[in-house]
Amino acid sequence: MSQKKNINVNDVPDHYKDKEEFYKVFTERLADIQEFPGEYRFKFVLTNKADVLSQFKEIFGEDAKYSIKESSSAKYVSVTIVKNVRDAGAVAFYYKEAEKIEGVMML
């Protein structure tokens, strides 16, 4: 088992020249702190609409575990997805695909 690094939030830049740079840094940092292969928990918030789950299932597949919770006003939903992934690059891939969903916010 490899030794994982402790990363201080102050060491992670909050601005990037483009999405490619963001995902490169994200993938590197995630590989430093997360064990792979294994389960990864994805979290999203978006406007509540009828086809929310189907959009995520197209990306993450039927083998993922899904949890959806409406906000108290039912205007928004939070979606938690747990999926086995092979490495940090796969996590970045799923985030890139999910960001194509209209109105999605990734947490």
Q: What is the dihedral of CA 32, 42, 60, 16, to 10 degrees?
A: -60
- What does the alpha-carbon distance between residue 8 and residue 77 come to, in Å, rounded to a whole number? 30
Look up the pTM and report it: 0.82
Domains, the chain, in order of start with CATH, read 9-106 (3.30.70.260)
Distance of CA 51 to the CA centre of its chain: 19
Q: Over the stretch 28-55, which tens digit does the pLDDT of each residue have?
A: 989 999 999 999 999 999 998 878 889 9
- What does the alpha-carbon distance between residue 45 and residue 79 come to, in Å, rounded to a whole number? 6
Number of C-beta neighbours around residue 74 at 10 A: 8
Residue 4 dihedral angles phi and psi, to the nearest 5°: -95, 145
Asked whether residue 95 carries a pLDDT value surpassing 90, the answer given is yes
